[in-house]
A = this chain, B = another copy of it.
Amino acid sequence: MTYCVAISVDAGMVFCSDSLTNAGVDQVSTYRKMFRFGIDGEKQFVILTSGNLATCQATIAKIKNDISQNIRPNLLTVLNLEEAADYVGDISREQQQKRMVDGKNFEASFIVGGQVRDGRHEITMIYPEGNYITTSEDTNYLQIGESKYGKPILDRILSPSLDLDTCAMCALVSMDSTMRSNLSVGPPVELLILKHGDLTPKDHIRFDEDSNFLRELKKEWDEHLKDAFRQMPPLSWAANWDKSNHEQSGTS
């Protein structure tokens, strides 16, 4: 499986992805799920992939090929993020349909985020059908893959005014929770930070399986979370709040 999350706040965007893929538990391999395309100083796009690996790879290969062959449109000729999302959605559908036999499912989902010149930065999530949704003032993040384990921390921490380093830490903690609770999501973990207006990105980090940082982050978060939990008021406290709801006996 996969877990990818992309966060959009006022200050810019953060992308985070794992790198495990599996077809059954005995066929596990490592593939990058984060791809950056751009013209420095002009436009930048980041694509995250989830779903059928062949469809993901075929889609990314076609995007690269269109750029290198200068076929139009390609990801570097689009004028805004909507066009980019439409373009990627079309390719994804095309690749799925090419291989469709007897209703077999080769579905894939994508996150595409980016900025063109002085336009807004934005993130879209492209469904297997090729249509897509975007982030908004109220929805700061989009996820693909195993999204549920890592959702609570995003829901609690993220807000539009948050700085990008805090958003990145939130994405990494969300990834850590997912890796801990689901064996099929795992390192290397990639992290890419795209400041609003900075169209020459430098902050693309890859944390390998033996990354001290990932190990320390896991340890630190574990300790802090346990501390937080220890500080919760004792349960006996409950009786004082909701006395009338106590049921004392009887088969219920």
Contacts and interface: CB of A to CB of B under 8 A. Distances in A.
Given A206-B245, A241-B212, A247-B206, A151 B181 contact: yes
Interface in A1-54: 32, 34-38
Contact of A235 (B151, B152, B156, B165): B165
Q: How many copies does the complex hold?
A: 2
Nearest to A222: B156
A220 B242 contact: no
B236 A165 contact: yes
Contacts of A102: none
Interface string A75-99: 0000000000000000000000000
A88 to B, nearest CB: 16
A108 interface: no
Given A222-B156, A228-B224, A202 B248 contact: yes
Contact of A205 (B211, B231, B233, B247): B247
A216 B237 CA distance: 10
A231 B220 CA distance: 9
A242 B246 CA distance: 53
A215 B32 CA distance: 42
A153 B176 CA distance: 12
A139 B29 CA distance: 27
Given A149-B149, A165-B234, A202-B249, 17 more contacts: A34-B252, A35-B252, A36-B251, A146-B148, A149-B152, A152-B180, A156-B225, A169-B235, A173-B232, A204-B252, A205-B245, A211-B242, A213-B237, A216-B233, A220-B233, A224-B228, A228-B228
Interface of A: 32, 34-38, 146, 148-153, 155-157, 165, 168-170, 172-173, 177-178, 180-181, 202, 204-208, 211-213, 216-217, 220-222, 224-229, 231-238, 241-242, 245-249, 251-252
